[in-house]
Structure 1
Amino acid sequence: MDQILYWNAVALEADRIAHTELKQAERGSRGPIGSSRSLAIVHAAMHDAYFSIVGAPHGTWLTAPPVAANGAAVDAAMAVAAHATLSALYPAQNGRLDRALREADLSGPGVGRGTAHGQAVARAVLRVRKGDPGTDAKNYHPDTAAPNHRPDPVNPAQGYYAPHYGARSRCFAVSTRYTLDPPPKGVDPRYLDALREVRAKGIAPEAAASLPTGMAARTADETLIGVFWGYDGSKGVGTPPRLYNQIVRAVAHARDNTVEQNARLFALVNIALADAGILCWDEKYRHNLWRPVLGIREYDPSMGPDSTPGRGLDPDCDPCWRPHGAPRSNEVAFNFTPPFPAYPSGHATFGAAALQITRRFYGVTAEGPDTLVDGLGVVSAELDGSTTDNDGVARTRHTRHFPDGLWQMMEENGRSRVFLGVHWSFDAFATGANGEMDLTQNIGGVRLGRDIADNLWTNGLKQDRGAGPRLP
């Protein structure tokens, strides 16, 4: 049994259950930040349990890992490290996690010594990240003047998710706190182009007939793309880090990875995701840009809390505009706009970090299409034939193919959020003259995620190289 793939599956199921059962004890492991942090801790522990016994030139993530007793069984060390970290992060699921450990096929000489080592590694990893800030908004005082972020008017009680986390967190391993250029705003023509695009492509389906003449509404395929990449913490589905892990699992299976390769790959992927969460959330609350639902409704100066008298409504303003929204899957409720600022896109940052580090792991260095998913079909939990939409109707199963590989996924994942009406296009990336993704500009989440992945690949997974917090 490959313990990395086994416990990765257990961890992804823990994420799904945490977002389905909503236990208070697991609040810190929910949402994109909670998920990415938890998955990084689990995979760092498995990585170090393995390489502190087997050895490798790249060494361990921990600066001073526990020393294993001679003859410690590596499978037992990995399994127990995963079980111990998961039990700490998902305490409401301890019964299921204990059962997973019993079914992990651990036997033979050295199991006891491997168990002790796995426990020691888990304690060390948890201790290193014990001081991470939470995802609550205590003592956060938002500046809500336009064009700053405010809660979704369709879900006005949603509050603010993880406003302190990014700025006050130490990175897991990325050595530079990358920052992005400010997003387009106001009279910048790039902002107006993005507004017109999301107004048409992201509108709620029941309101599409209200679009001005000449605006091309979202196509059926664009709706499919938006929902496919959803994973907005809904019941039975979970968060974006779960989806990107599922994609990497498919690649690892297709490439017939060894346990050693998987120990390294999944640690790289999940630490990239955790650092993407830290730096993306720092940028989100630093730039504090509103979402399209407010930007479109309040594009005219006569609209909004600080409105001034006008002489007629600007044609690019729609005071009643509503987005398709992030999918509220498996419950009957309004779709929603996420409870944190728009720029940069979390999906774009997470996806680029995870998929770019996977490209680098398999030797892809050039930007552009790759062949890493040739012949593979990908099924999203949002479109698996059993997940229901927010009207309670099961969505049809859909298998998606990506002929241009993980590079195509990085771009499509970023664009998908426009089709849900919850992001501006530049939240994902700047575009060139023909609308293609342009990563030469320091704009958007794909650029940020790519830089994070490339930094990790160059500098390795080292706890002591992680950049410190921006704020105390």
Structure 2
Amino acid sequence: MSARTRTVRPHTGMWRRALSAAMVLAATGSVLTVAPQTAQAALPQHAIADPVHYWNDVLLQVVRREGGGPGPMARAAAMMNAAIYDAESSYQLKWKGKIASEPYIYAHKYDGWIEGPAEEERVIGRTAYNILLGLYGENQAHFLDEKFRERFGTEPTEFDLLDLTVVNRMVTQMEDARDGDGSDNPQVYVGDDKPGAWRPTSYPDMPDPSCESDSQAVTPFWGRMKPFALTSGSQFRPATPGLYGTYEKLLASDAYKAQVEAVRSFGADRPTARTPVVNRTPDQEAAAWFWANDLDGTYKPPGQLLQATRDVAQARGLNTYDNARLFALVSIAMADAGIAVRDVKFLTPIDLWRPVSAIREGGLDPEWKPLLKTPEGVNVNPCFPAWASGHATFAAAWAGVMKRYFGSDGIAFDMTTDEPQSPVKTRHFTSFSAAATENAYSRVWLGVHFPWDAEDGLALGDKVAAHVFTTKLREL
């Protein structure tokens, strides 16, 4: 069931009142506050006060329930938060007379004589609910209904005049903007089948049923998707290691050999006969697990950064309008970062194999395993090419927006993790860039990335952030 049909199925009496209100709206250009709005007057009290934070928390819970790759999760966050921002901008334009920054698509100065009870909360919540229902309703409709009732104390299908005056417009314009964006590309990946090229990483001594064939590569053509702010996924494509042109030249280079040795030493699960020393420090190992969030059941890398956005925003006392803009900027940047990094991974001349393949199939150490493993102790790898790092790109896009939004990189804050295997649940950082850098290099310490995956991901993500911040939701 689509978001647009879900909110306009009240019982007959409510539908008649809705039709009457619509007729008044058409005839006079304004409406009186009608009785169904009063059902929303007394909202339940919640620990999460701000509606922007509440619905982002709902999104993270949905992601934990759904699983899947980080790209779709980032796309969902961008759709929801950009729609929330336009809805909040519409509310500000209507009742405060102005907006401080430009909308993502369009802010609608909707009709009405008197501001309804909890109207800002309802505009945001009903928009967020319907975007999430459109994205996840097939599996998560009951859960989303539950979260709506928890927030409002009413059913999402009950009539609310705001659906007619503003909410449906906000939902429709976002869904129309993303319709046919390429997110459902059914193409199946076929590998290059050469030394150096990515291949599935299931081995007899580390079986991974989710990565046994090329066709299981996760979102291989996400890089072709229509971005939210970039001109294309390849707009900021980095040069290395694609500058080598061929796998043969890449594998023969001294730079590549140094990359392999670095991850072989720092990312090994444990010493082996051919790799007798693991150089990773205890703090690096703790950081590796802190940033992981690879497995289903966690809020994935973008979710960890959205949680950090909320923590920083709360600490700095942002109001709802400022939160809406910040979360929209962060989410748009991460969505485009996910597109850009998938372009690098799959659509460049080099679809680089994972370190485990380089070390084992390169003849260096047939027993080598990465630190990354399931809670059951089976070593695994993400099922897509190594270069560039998605964690690094997401993190740099997030940090790039945060430091530009707050006008400083040097803001201290704490971050948390969803990773069940992390020995620590909180880490402290003195800047956004410091957090992004640790996130990037944690992938080397986890044994699933080369150092240049981290470096190029950081550079790529910051370029995405700069573009988003200077072209979208600009201050007026």
TM-score (norm 2): 0.77
1:54 Cα deviation after fit: 1.2
Please give the alpha-carbon distance, in whole angstroms, between the structure 1 residues aligned to 2:295 and 2:130: 24
Match of 1:186, SS state, is helix
1:69 and 2:111 aligned: yes
Q: Which of 399, 407, 417 is residue 363 of structure 1 equivalent to?
A: 407
Please give the alpha-carbon distance, in whole angstroms, between the structure 1 residues aligned to 2:371 and 2:109: 53
AA of the residue aligned to 2:160? G
Structure 2 residue runs without a partner (length 5+): 1-48, 94-98, 245-249
1:120 Cα deviation after fit: 2.4
* CA RMSD after TM alignment: 2.2
Please give the alpha-carbon distance, in whole angstroms, between the structure 2 residues aligned to 1:198 and 1:122: 45
Aligned to 1:144: 193
Please give the alpha-carbon distance, in whole angstroms, between the structure 1 residues aligned to 2:252 and 2:283: 31
Which has the larger Rg?
Answer: 2
Aligned to 1:220: 282
Match of 1:400, SS state, is strand
Aligned to 2:130: 84
Does the aligned pair in 2 maintain the 1:60–1:461 contact within 8 Å?
yes
Structure 1 residue runs without a partner (length 5+): 20-29, 301-316, 365-369, 390-394, 430-443, 463-472
The range that moved more, 251-260 or 111-120, is 111-120
How is 1:126-275 mapped onto 2 (pairs within 5 angstroms)? Answer: 126-134=175-183, 138-154=187-203, 155=208, 156-157=211-212, 159-167=216-224, 169-175=225-231, 177-183=235-241, 185-205=250-270, 208-212=271-275, 215-235=277-297, 237-275=298-336
Please give the alpha-carbon distance, in whole angstroms, between the structure 1 residues aligned to 2:56 and 2:273: 46
Does the aligned pair in 2 maintain the 1:200–1:211 contact within 8 Å?
no
Does the aligned pair in 2 maintain the 1:46–1:263 contact within 8 Å?
yes
1:416 and 2:433 aligned: no
AA of the residue aligned to 1:95? H
1:90 Cα deviation after fit: 1.6
How is 1:8-27 mapped onto 2 (pairs within 5 angstroms)? Answer: 8-19=56-67
AA of the residue aligned to 2:453? D
1:335 Cα deviation after fit: 3.2
Please give the alpha-carbon distance, in whole angstroms, between the structure 2 residues aligned to 1:217 and 1:136: 42
1:296 and 2:359 aligned: yes
Aligned to 1:35: 73
Match of 1:192, SS state, is helix
1:276 Cα deviation after fit: 0.4
Aligned to 1:118: 167
Match of 1:377, SS state, is strand
1:371 Cα deviation after fit: 2.9
Please give the alpha-carbon distance, in whole angstroms, between the structure 2 residues aligned to 1:81 and 1:293: 45
AA of the residue aligned to 1:371? G
- Give 1 or 2: higher helix fraction: 2
Match of 2:465, SS state, is helix
Tell me the alpha carbon deviations over residues 246-282 of structure 1, each in whole angstroms, 9 at most, x when there is no partner.
1111110110111111000000000101000111101
Aligned to 1:4: 52
Does the aligned pair in 2 maintain the 1:147–1:289 contact within 8 Å?
yes
Match of 1:234, SS state, is coil
1:324 and 2:371 aligned: yes
Matched pairs, number:
392
Identity %: 31
1:68 Cα deviation after fit: 2.3
Aligned to 2:7: none
AA of the residue aligned to 2:173? A
1:174 Cα deviation after fit: 2.5
